[in-house]
């Protein structure tokens, strides 16, 4: 029996500009991945050429039966030098938004998805007290130019990600494995050499390079959330009808007997402490891929017998429904699932992941929890940050030698679910 979701439910997929567009030459990541001795497996290059092929990609998304597309605008393209806004970049993103409109696709726009202008990093990056003002100025410009075409805005993608990165590095540094956010745990000497080169490239001491995915102080974390709050108010000044939220990366945090206090502390660190910054938001962007389990001595390793994804995560789609429920119990806001998916080369396992995840979401909507959309990560196989192109999250396969797109069976499967709901 087909699962029926609330009327108006948004069905779609997500991308991030740096991971799909290509030639993002003014961003910090472009510089970092092209350094000699880079910790990136490979540079992004033209990525999957979405900057050129967006019309076809959006039409393909719509043809599958999906009605929404979450994507990011690239700050480094729009403001390549501080205070200098690129009209051609704005015109490009206007065309992207118009392509959504022509295809009956609701655009959900993220204004910052990990990559930043190089000039921002040179001026202190995400540890500078001036960054909230600079970010809100960029957001104001974008909304003045494009806001009439943008119904939903996610200000910052995974604003809490530095907490998870710190835990991932601690967990995986001993065995060299990899995890969700694309951390590649090279040897310490390699890392030190790389960060020395990185500092030289930015004209800074290595410890002064504060990219979004880098190490974060408590003050830096506050600056990120303050950037969200100030951007939200700036957006509302320009476009009062646009719905504004922020996205967080959340595990389904569980515990065994004796681990309850550790799990509660993890929920506080990764979510609950940020509730005051989100109290005035219109919706919450939830991003979930797996679970973590705590015992009396802290985070437990993934059981040996558990199925694992290409990213080294436990294959556990049931996490999504549990996190939706937890979030809503503490933040009484509409929830948009802005990312959920699995890195695998076995598309049957992706289909099973989608079905099991959506079963959990359906249970939540049946309880009256206002989940307003599901954006699968990702639309296309793409550039997975430090891990390069080796991890396949996409509903659509890309032959990067020709840039040919080939929808996977999972793409048609999710599209059929969306179509069945549209008919009821």
**Under 8 Å between Cβ of 121 and 216:** no
Res 188: pLDDT = 61
**132-141, 184-193, 207-216, 313-322: least confidently modelled range:** 184-193
**Under 8 Å between Cβ of 382 and 376:** no
Per-residue pLDDT tens digits for 344-362: 999 999 999 999 999 999 9
Q: What tokens were used for 167?
A: 């835990």
Per-residue pLDDT tens digits for 294-307: 999 999 999 999 99
Phi, psi at residue 138, to the nearest 5°? Answer: -60, -45
Q: Which of 329, 228, 320 is nearest to 282 (CA)?
A: 228
Residue 180 has pLDDT above 90, yes or no: no
Q: Which of 130, 117, 132, 121 is nearest to 85 (CA)?
A: 117
pTM of the model: 0.96
Separate counts of helices (H) and strands (E) for the chain: 15, 13
**63-77, 191-205, 276-290, 315-329: least confidently modelled range:** 191-205
DSSP state of 31: H
Sheet holding 298-299, edge to edge: 252-255, 291-295, 298-299
Residue 415 has pLDDT above 90, yes or no: yes
Res 178: pLDDT = 46
Which domains are assigned to the chain? 10-419 (3.20.20.80)
Per-residue pLDDT tens digits for 257-293: 999 999 999 999 999 999 999 999 999 999 999 999 9
Q: What share of the chain is helix, strand, coil (3-state, %, to 5)?
A: 45, 15, 40
Residue 176 has pLDDT above 60, yes or no: no
Beta bridge partners of 374: 11, 337
Of all residues in the chain, the percent with pLDDT exceeding 90 is: 90
Per-residue pLDDT tens digits for 104-150: 999 999 999 999 999 999 999 999 999 999 999 999 999 999 999 99
| Residues 13-36 as b or e (16 or more Cβ within 10 Å = b) | bbbbbbbbbbebebbbbbbbbeee
Average pLDDT of the residues of the chain: 95
Residue 84 has pLDDT above 90, yes or no: yes
Q: Is the bond leading into 174 cis (omega within 30 degrees of zero)?
A: no
């Amino acid at each position: 029996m087909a699962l029926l979701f609330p009327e108006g439910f948004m069905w779609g997929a997500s991308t991030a500009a740096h991971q799909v567009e290509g030639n993002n030459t003014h961003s910090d990541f472009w510089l970092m991945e092209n350094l000699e001795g880079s910790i990136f497996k490979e540079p992004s290059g033209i990525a999957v050429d979405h900057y050129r092929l967006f019309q076809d990609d959006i039409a393909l998304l719509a043809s599958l039966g999906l009605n929404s597309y979450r994507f990011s605008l690239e700050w480094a393209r729009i403001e390549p030098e501080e205070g200098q806004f690129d009209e051609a970049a704005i015109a490009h993103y206007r065309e992207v938004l118009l392509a959504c409109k022509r295809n009956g696709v609701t655009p959900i726009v993220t204004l910052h998805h990990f990559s930043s202008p190089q000039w921002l990093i040179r001026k202190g990056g995400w540890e500078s007290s001036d960054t909230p003002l600079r970010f809100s100025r960029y957001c104001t410009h974008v909304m003045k130019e494009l806001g009439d075409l943008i119904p939903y805005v996610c200000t910052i993608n995974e604003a809490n990600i530095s907490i998870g990165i710190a835990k991932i590095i601690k967990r995986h540094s001993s065995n060299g494995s990899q995890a969700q956010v694309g951390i590649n745990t090279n040897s310490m000497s390699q890392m030190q050499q790389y960060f020395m080169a990185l500092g030289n490239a930015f004209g800074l001491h290595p410890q002064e390079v504060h990219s979004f995915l880098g190490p974060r102080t408590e003050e830096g974390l506050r600056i990120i959330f303050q950037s969200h709050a100030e951007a939200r108010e700036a957006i509302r000044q320009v476009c009062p009808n646009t719905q504004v939220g922020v996205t967080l990366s959340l595990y389904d945090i569980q515990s065994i007997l004796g681990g309850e206090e550790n799990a509660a502390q993890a929920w506080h660190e990764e979510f609950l402490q940020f509730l005051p910054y989100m109290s005035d938001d219109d919706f919450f962007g939830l991003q979930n891929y797996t679970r973590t389990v705590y015992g009396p001595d802290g985070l437990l390793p993934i059981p040996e017998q558990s199925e694992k994804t290409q990213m080294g995560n436990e294959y556990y789609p049931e996490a999504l429904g549990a996190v939706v429920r937890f979030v809503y119990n503490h933040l009484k806001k509409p929830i948009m699932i802005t990312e959920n998916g699995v890195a695998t080369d076995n598309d049957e396992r992706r289909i099973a992941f989608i079905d099991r995840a959506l079963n959990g979401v359906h249970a939540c909507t049946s309880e009256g929890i206002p989940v307003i959309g599901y954006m699968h990560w990702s639309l296309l196989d793409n550039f997975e940050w430090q891990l390069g192109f080796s991890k396949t999250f996409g509903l659509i396969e890309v032959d990067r030698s020709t840039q040919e797109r080939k929808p996977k069976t999972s793409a048609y499967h999710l599209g059929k679910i969306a179509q069945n709901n549209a008919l009821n």
